[in-house]
Amino acid sequence: MISAHLRAAEDLFVFHVLNRPHSQVLAGKCLLLGGSTDLAEEAPGIRSGDLSGIEAREIPSWRRSWIFPPLELALIPDWEEKIEKIAVACLAEDIRSISGAPNWLLLFFDKLMQLRPGAPGLAKVFPRLELIIHGGIPFTPYRDRFRQLLEGTHAETRESYLASESSIALADRADGEGLRLIFDNASFFEFVPVAELTHAEPTRHWLANFETGIEYAVIVSTCAGAWAYILGDTVRFIDRDPPRLIVTGRTSYLLSVFGEHVIAEQIEQAIHSAATAIGAAVVDYSVGVLFSEADKVGRHSYFVEFADRIPDATGINTFTRTLDQALAASNADYHERRAGDFGLQPPRVETVPPGTFAAWMKSRGKLGGQHKVPRIINDAGLFASLREFVGKH
């Protein structure tokens, strides 16, 4: 599977060059902002660690000259120390491509801006930058912020959909045009309609008979021994030949305390619409459910971290109203629950200062690497932890 993951990385660069025939992306270095390459020994001869860290450690020696950072920096286990040292060191390198999760990349870019005061974006930091490779979490909430940072460069963004179990899909076209399924790289994929996932004998589609426009759960069998394993991701195909999909969320990423059945994709689009309505950029957010102690009437409760500035009260009111309207427009169940006597009250949006989500993740020992800020929180204890942290900070 390590070889399969490395081949997927090669495929992504092939797609980039196909879209940009005069590319010079391999004339410089690729900056990998992944997890620590320091692996823990679980038993004699058995080691574990971050997928991105394992991949970085397994890069063939002949490729190493194209990769940054060197192992002595990649091995640093403390995330904040690592990005500080990588940021300083990379300023002397000819960086042509950068790979990482969008939220952690933004934190890294903020560090670069501190080191280059007055630089409005990445154009002055990496003048030959061609490619940003992102994955792990949905890109929609970050798209506008990346567009600002990349202004003046010739860089494009390209998404990868990789999991520990398998390399699933890559962006072979422009940003937002879907991901091409990787069906020839040591994995066999099946797709079960999300509505049937709990059935005793759900319909199992494969490459020959999947349909576009259907919400599927991804099932994978691999050369590493996984057999009909449910990844936990949901996708929707937009093309058949070649098979191209978009990632819509997680099988567990659903808010439906009141029967509203709101999925991650709808929330992400609503957050983006709300931010656009007030001319702001969202760094991160999480949403859970709050109940009134008195009568059990409830609402969706959002914590939102904005870039640059916190909107004023009027801006937050517009943001909240637009968010609510966008969800109602995209989800009939949400519209019905909000309009009828179902107990779903208007959403509540609370802003948090810059750096709040990173600090919360650090307090949980989950800063950087492949750790993801939980967007939809159905775990009451975890949501209470976030609320308590925000209250103290």
pLDDT of res. 277 = 96
pLDDT of res. 320 = 97
pTM, full prediction:
0.80
Residue from 375, 370, 18, 20 nearest 162 by CA: 370
What are the sequence ranges of the domains in the chain? 2-162, 185-250, 254-392
pLDDT of res. 11 = 93
DSSP character for 25? G
Q: What is the DSSP string of 191-223?
A: EEEGGGTTSSS---B-TTT--TT-EEEEEEEET
Q: For 10-47, what is each residue's pLDDT tens digit?
A: 999 999 999 999 999 999 999 998 766 667 778 887 87
pLDDT of res. 16 = 95
pLDDT of res. 105 = 92
| Torsion sign (Cα): 230, 303, 161, 235 | positive
The alpha carbons of the chain give a radius of gyration, in whole angstroms, of 21
Structure-block tokens of residue 275: 């931010």
Query: Distances from the Cα of 230 to the Cαs of 204, 234, 361, in angstroms?
Result: 12, 10, 26
pLDDT of res. 293 = 57
pLDDT of res. 57 = 72
pLDDT of res. 144 = 86
- Positions of the chain with pLDDT under 50: none
| CA 80 – CA 270 distance, rounded (Å) | 32
Query: Distances from the Cα of 116 to the Cαs of 78, 95, 125, 177, 281, in angstroms?
Result: 23, 16, 7, 34, 22
pLDDT of res. 362 = 92
CATH code 2.40.50.100 for 254-392: no
**Is residue 369 within 8 Å of 34, Cβ to Cβ?**
yes
